[in-house]
A and B are shown apart, each in its own frame.
Chain A
Amino acid sequence: MELGKRYRLSAKVKLRKERFGGVIYCHKTQRLFLVSSLLIPFLEADGTETTGEIAQMLHHEGCLPINALGKVSEELDRLARAGVIDEL
């Protein structure tokens, strides 16, 4: 995971929390994405903190096992490639 990155939801993208995590809808591409609850804090931060800062905070709170970091990183990359989040 590249810890210094900051992400923000792209324009015309909406996020809603669900039992399993969240749903994201991109109005521009009309695509729907499902994300796990691990991703939600990274998406809600809205670019105010780096992924490293968020991961560290979650880890201290016992909400992010070290072995889940790779999965979170992959998911953020996937969303960035799909134009759902922008790197600041």
Chain B
Amino acid sequence: MSYELLRSGLKAPLCITWELTSACNLQCIHCLSSSGKRARGELTLEECRSILDDLARMKVFYINMGGGEPLLRSDFFDIARYSLEQGIDIQVSTNGTLLGESVVRQMADLPGLRVQVSLDGADAATNDTIRGQGSYRKARESLELLARHDIDFSINCVLTQLSFPQLDTFSDLARSYGARLRVSRLRPSGRGSKKWEQLRPTMEQNMLFYHWLLAHPEVLTGDSFFFLSALGQELDGLSMCGAGRITCCLTPCGDIYPCAFLIWPQFWAGNVRQKPLSVMWLNAPIFQHLRLYEAEACHGCPHSSSCHGGCIAAAFFATGSLGNPDPECVVSLTSNERTV
């Protein structure tokens, strides 16, 4: 996909990540948003509707609704229904612990809503080490329910040292439900920053994963592994960071950031209570900055046209500075090809 067409940013986001609430009934050790308690001053239903009107005018295609656990909002279905009525599709990311029969029936009544259930181990021992005791069993029960109601869903697994050896099992599990597998990248954001060194895949695992992805084009990644394209053949999808270019993140209290992994004062674009997202998207200095951004350390690297410097959030939180290369840069870790 052409980098040059997208790097200066689209006229509106294609999708946004909307963290509906900070409340969560789990305490996953790698949670990117350090969720747990509900934040004070979360957006009201009325405010959510007004935001959705703005998104509809911008022709945003879809929203990744997450949190926290989005189903802990009692008005979740009001928000979801209103979004779909405005023509904006939804992908709801849930931990799968609250998907009873009644919830799943309501989901089944909403065409355009897709569900993503998080599972970070293909067995209880692995998953529950990360997501908490009993979470595997509940998530598996939810997968059964979703499949029984013929709902479009995927299993989302964060790639870690622990989950890497289980990828084939994950793939088989998703297929057994007629669902898709999505593998996401671990970032050193939120609680993930404390577990980053312990959980992140080894260099060898990342390189093997690149080949595994090439052999499994049906697996979704949210384009989060584009940094691995420096190894050779480009992976499917977007080959660059989409933060502030094709996507952004809306937090429970209305703050806008370039991406869910870049929630930090330096990257704040504004708050929707003061200014509509449609205005911020065009004018916020941080978005304009990111649309011109290139990692300084990657200048002169022969592979930079493949990975475009990798993930900004990983670089920023792992090294404390923008301008550094992605800390998992496969080129700098495997050879000394950089010609700076």
Interface of A with B (CB < 8 Å)?
12, 14, 16, 18-20, 23, 25, 27-28, 30-32, 34
* Separation of A34 and B62 alpha carbons in the complex (Å): 17
Give Cα distance in the complex from A32 to B240, angstroms. Answer: 14
Counting residue pairs across A and B whose Cβ atoms lie within 8 Å, the total is 34
The answer to whether A32 and B89 touch (CB under 8 A), given A14-B61, A16-B59, is no
Task: Tell whether, in the assembled complex, residue A32 and residue B14 are in contact, meaning their CB atoms are under 8 Å apart.
Answer: yes
Which listed segment binds A: B4-12, B226-234, B292-300? B4-12
Cβ–Cβ contact A25 & B1, under 8 A = no
Chosen A-B contacts, 13 in total, with CB atoms closer than 8 Å, are A16-B59, A16-B61, A18-B10, A18-B11, A20-B5, A25-B61, A25-B62, A27-B89, A27-B112, A27-B114, A32-B237, A34-B1, A34-B2
Let me know if A23 and B10 touch, CB within 8 A: yes
The answer for the CA separation of A12 and B11 in the assembled complex, in Å, is: 22
Residue B331 CB within 8 A of the other chain: no
By DSSP majority rule, is chain B's interface helix, strand, loop, or mixed? loop
Q: Are A34 and B5 in contact (CB under 8 A)?
A: yes
Set of chain B residues within 8 Å of A31, measured between Cβ atoms = 237
A23 and B89 contacting across the interface, CB-CB below 8 Å: no
B14 touches A25 (CB 8 A): yes
- Which chain B positions have C-beta within 8 A of A30? 220
Find chain B residues with CB under 8 A from A16 CB. 12, 14, 59, 61
Q: Within 8 Å of chain A (Cβ to Cβ): is B108?
A: no
Q: Which residues of B contact A18 (CB under 8 A)?
A: 5, 10-11
Please, what's the 1-or-0 string for B81-92, where 1 marks a CB less than 8 Å from any CB in chain A?
A: 000000001000
Given contacts A30-B220, A34-B5, contact A19 B11 (CB under 8 A): yes
B286 at the A/B interface (Cβ < 8 Å)?
A: no
- Determine the distance from Cα of A19 to Cα of B33 in the docked complex, in whole angstroms: 34
List the A side residues contacting B12 at CB < 8 Å.
Answer: 16
